[in-house]
Amino acid sequence: MTATATTTGTTTTTTTTTATGATLPLATVRGLQVAYGDGPLVLDGVDLDLFPGELVALLGSSGSGKSTLMKSLTGFAPVNGGTVRVAGHDLTNLRHGQLRRLRAHVGQVFQQFNLVGRLSVLTNVLTGGLHDAGPLNLAGGFSSAHRRLALELLDRVGIAHKANDQARTLSGGQQQRVAIARALMQRPRLILADEPVASLDPKMSHAVLDLLHDIARQDGIPVLVSLHVLPLALEHSDRIVGLARGEMLVSAPTTELDADRLGVLYAGDEDDEEGDDHDAHVA
């Protein structure tokens, strides 16, 4: 792949394989343009490759287009131009049924965990497998094979002992682990995590990112994680991509980057109203 870093005003281009040695991307975005309704382009000419086995950190100020880029990878963004390919499919040309089947194998993790609080941890994980043929037995309960798998996954994320607790009784970090187990229940080809640690304290943030990085490596799938805090991105990712006002200004292996070179993503933020967001990235 070609990694291009435009972080200092000059463009450095290095040709390399990925940090993990994979050569074929699972997802490829080229020249992506997105606009909501009659509004302006919120993504303009974005390129992105996601390779099996790597954790890619997606950086950018609030409003730079991170969530929109994530949505484009599940066919939920209003695409005006360019292409989005995932697992060999051109998302802009898929029929609804095909798109639904593809989405079934994209695990998603959100800032607010999105669990059903009154249901047990185990049931929350089991719902991740609902798209699969046959998770339910004749009595309408989940099959024992699915229960076993869900328990194995809870064990993997370190909270099997909470399986029967109501999800809402868990801490934020524990809830995010449940959400990750639920995503794994989908047997994902790709995991998209949109600000997964924005509601967690620093210790929990490190633990959740460690877990996501382990999953990327062990399961050989790409994990795309949007983050606000630069040191977290620098510590936990194989590659960093960075958006500013809808354009991809940074795309490079993490080892080639540092906070100074990433500053270009936040240049001009001082003029914005969102001062607290600007503070967040250096926290």
Ligand X SMILES: Nc1ncnc2c1ncn2[C@@H]1O[C@H](COP(=O)(O)OP(=O)(O)O)[C@@H](O)[C@H]1O
By CB under 5 A, name the binding residues for Mg ion.
66-67
- Picked from ligand X, Mg ion, none, the partner binding residue 65 (CB below 5 to 8 A depending on kind) is ligand X
DSSP state of 130: T
Number of residues interacting with ligand X: please give it, by CB under 6 A.
Answer: 11
- How far is 282 from 277, CA to CA, in rounded Å? 10
Question: Within its chain, how far is the Cα of 186 from the centroid?
Answer: 15
Residue 7 as a binder of ligand X (CB under 6 A): the answer is: no
The residue from 5, 42, 153, 159 that contacts ligand X (CB under 6 A) is 42
Q: Does 46 bind ligand X (CB under 6 A)?
A: no
Q: Which two tokens stand for residue 32?
A: 């992506």
Assign 164 to helix, strand or coil: coil
63 binds, among Mg ion, ligand X, none (CB under 5 to 8 A by kind): ligand X
Residue type present at position 233? A
**Cα–Cα distance for residue pair 254/213, rounded to 1 Å:** 14
Binding mask 235-264 for ligand X (x = CB under 6 A): ------------------------------
Q: Which of 62, 111, 120, 143 binds ligand X (CB under 6 A)?
A: 62
Residue 1 CB neighbour total at 10 angstroms: 17
Q: Is 67 in the site for ligand X (CB under 6 A)?
A: yes
- Separation of alpha carbons 141 and 150, rounded Å: 14
108 binds ligand X (CB under 6 A): no
Q: Nearer Cβ to ligand X, position 29 or 150?
A: 29
